[in-house]
């Protein structure tokens, strides 16, 4: 009778290829580091300075000894996304994991929301995630399966004054996840989402002390989360330890939504 793998063994990702969008900072960088520490080969996606993307990929190679591929691409550009996946297929010949993380903030009160904000947030946060989901699914189907995790937000689940646009884009990712899990399950592709709450990153660094205090005051665990804590939940979801978990939205929010 074959020996049952230990939970620690099931968390290992040795040899698997993982693409993390928006991986050069914040939650994306924490996720990339966590997956690399588990043995995954990492496609590091970022927007803008190619040198920064390349440096992040080099950091992962040096720290964890895993193969990496830097890919500077705008995930809100369908053609750029397709080019990225062609490069991944050509380099690795496969894709096992997609973490749909890249996103932008869009804060404005109703009545003061500019058209450009609506278009930009939908293009990056929602359309970009769909472009990546579709391209990743094609590669994963060829390889016999895979795992996709999309980073939504607590705001997409409960809303927040002044963030109508951002909440709409993040709520859309929940519907995308639930639908894709049903459609892709027969191909061995698991699809889940993570909904972080208040996490210490560059995206929350702009908050003044009063706003931050009010937010943290509403968290039963009494503190903001760390980006690494989001990465650890993503690791669980993409690993074999979660082999029967699909179509779920996991909150990482210190019980803020209860």
How far is 52 from 254, CA to CA, in rounded Å? 32
Residues with Cβ within 8 Å of 233's Cβ and at least 6 positions away in sequence, in order, are 194, 250, 252
Copy the structure tokens of residue 40: 């995954």
Q: In Å, what is the CA distance from 157 to each residue of 1, 26, 93, 135, 175?
A: 45, 21, 36, 26, 11
How far is 2 from 85, CA to CA, in rounded Å? 37
β-partners of residue 226 are 200
Contact 238, 36 (CB under 8 A): no
Residue 161 phi, psi dihedral angles, 5° rounding: -55, 135
Residue with tokens 């009545």: 111
Catalytic residues: 166
């Amino acid at each position: 009778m074959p020996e049952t793998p230990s939970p620690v063994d099931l968390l290992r990702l040795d040899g698997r290829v993982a693409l993390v969008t928006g991986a050069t900072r914040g939650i994306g960088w924490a996720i990339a580091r966590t997956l690399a520490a588990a043995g995954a080969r990492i496609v590091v996606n970022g927007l803008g300075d190619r040198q920064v993307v390349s440096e992040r990929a080099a950091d992962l190679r040096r720290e964890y000894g895993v193969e990496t591929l830097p890919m500077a691409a705008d995930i809100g550009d369908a053609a750029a996304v397709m080019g990225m996946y062609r490069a991944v297929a050509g380099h690795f010949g496969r894709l096992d994991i997609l973490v749909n993380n890249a996103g932008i903030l869009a804060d404005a009160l109703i009545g003061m929301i500019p058209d450009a904000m609506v278009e930009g947030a939908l293009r990056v946060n929602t359309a970009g995630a769909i472009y990546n989901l579709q391209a990743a699914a094609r590669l994963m189907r060829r390889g016999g399966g895979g795992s996709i995790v999309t980073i939504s937000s607590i705001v997409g689940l409960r809303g927040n004054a002044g963030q109508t646009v951002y909440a709409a884009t993040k709520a859309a990712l929940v519907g995308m996840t639930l639908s894709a899990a049903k459609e892709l399950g027969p191909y061995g592709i698991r699809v889940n989402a993570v909904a972080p709450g208040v996490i210490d990153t560059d995206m929350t660094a702009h908050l003044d002390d009063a706003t931050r205090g009010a937010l943290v005051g509403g968290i039963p665990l009494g503190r903001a989360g760390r980006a690494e804590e989001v990465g650890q939940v993503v690791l669980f979801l993409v690993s074999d330890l979660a082999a029967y978990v699909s179509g779920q939205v996991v909150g990482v929010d210190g019980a803020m939504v209860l």
